[in-house]
Amino acid sequence: MPVFFITADQIHANAVTITGPLLDHLRASLRVKPGERIWVGDERRRRCHIEITHIDRRALRGTVLDQRTGPALTTPRLLVGQAILKGERMDWAIQKATELGVAALIPLVSEQTVVRPKQGRAGAQQERWQRIALEAAQQSERWDVPTVAAPSSAMAFFAAPDQTALKLILSERETGQSLGSVSFPSSPADTITLAVGPEGGWRDEELAEARARGFLPVTLGTRILRAETATIAAVSIVQSRLGELG
């Protein structure tokens, strides 16, 4: 069974209380009962094995049998700026990037983005993407859940001041360094930012702005991949080079 994420304030000494959507999922979908045991985790990278003692429509209560703390981070955080993809492709990219261990995702609106957040619905869309990341983190038994930020324009994303140690932009039709040959930072205090474009690729002015802001153009080779495939291939290469895969 996966690890279910709760907040630290739901853990009190040796007792856990679960309410809200997770309670509904455990009751209605998984039909857990008193006496069963599940794992829960919180934002402090703390994981508890609990035995359910009570469950009704209002709350699930359990007793902590075992508590563990996640291992210390040993590699840089990977942040992905993902141009918004059409329909299920974006959902799939967020899900798989979460499984591969990214620390945060920023949905980007670029010049050639086909689907754009509708007026008044950006918040609801962000919540949906965050829920997808949460479910993927639970299923893959991560110690944490990546943050899915509010959608941003690509230009604003490139120009945002940060302390990123290495900034990369995937550009399949440009002459760039192979992602497999880039020199990566190694400190867990560092962040690597990877920008991945939409189905139609980046516009020239977007690439120029990214370069001006310190992004290094990189490629995955001679093949032109679908946008969501490029995301997962690039994240896999970075995580492998960092020692998080393989």
Q: How confident is the model at residue 162 (pLDDT cuts 50, 70, 90)?
A: confident
Report the percentage of the chain scoring pLDDT > 90: 82
Q: Give the CA count within 13 Å in the CB-facing half-sphere of 96.
A: 16
Q: How confident is the model at residue 66 (pLDDT cuts 50, 70, 90)?
A: very high
Q: Where are the alpha helices (DSSP H) in the chain?
A: 20-24, 88-99, 122-139, 154-159, 204-212, 227-242
Contacts of residue 180, Cβ cutoff 8 Å, sequence gap at least 6: 237, 241
- Inform me whether the pLDDT recorded for 222 exceeds 90: no
- Inform me whether the pLDDT recorded for 107 exceeds 90: yes
| Distance of alpha carbon 105 from alpha carbon 195, whole angstroms | 10
- Inform me whether the pLDDT recorded for 156 exceeds 70: yes
| pLDDT, the chain, mean | 92
Contact 86, 112 (CB under 8 A): no
**Residue 162: C-alpha distances to residues 79, 141, 159, 192 (Å):** 12, 29, 9, 11
Contact 42, 16 (CB under 8 A): no
CB atoms within 10 A of CB 216: 15
Mean pLDDT of 162-166: 88
Contact 84, 64 (CB under 8 A): no
Name 16's bridge partners.
Answer: 11, 62
| Distance of alpha carbon 81 from alpha carbon 151, whole angstroms | 10
Residue carrying structure tokens 């550009």: 171
Domains and CATH numbers, the chain: 3-69 (2.40.240.20), 77-242 (3.40.1280.10)
Q: pLDDT tens digits, residue range 182-199?
A: 999 999 999 999 999 998
Contact 227, 113 (CB under 8 A): no
* Structural tokens at position 181: 């040959």
Mean pLDDT of 98-124: 87
| Distance of alpha carbon 133 from alpha carbon 198, whole angstroms | 20
Contacts of residue 79, Cβ cutoff 8 Å, sequence gap at least 6: 102, 103, 104, 105, 106, 164, 191, 192, 193, 194
Residue carrying structure tokens 């690729």: 201
- Inform me whether the pLDDT recorded for 65 exceeds 70: yes
Q: Give the CA count within 13 Å in the CB-facing half-sphere of 167.
A: 17
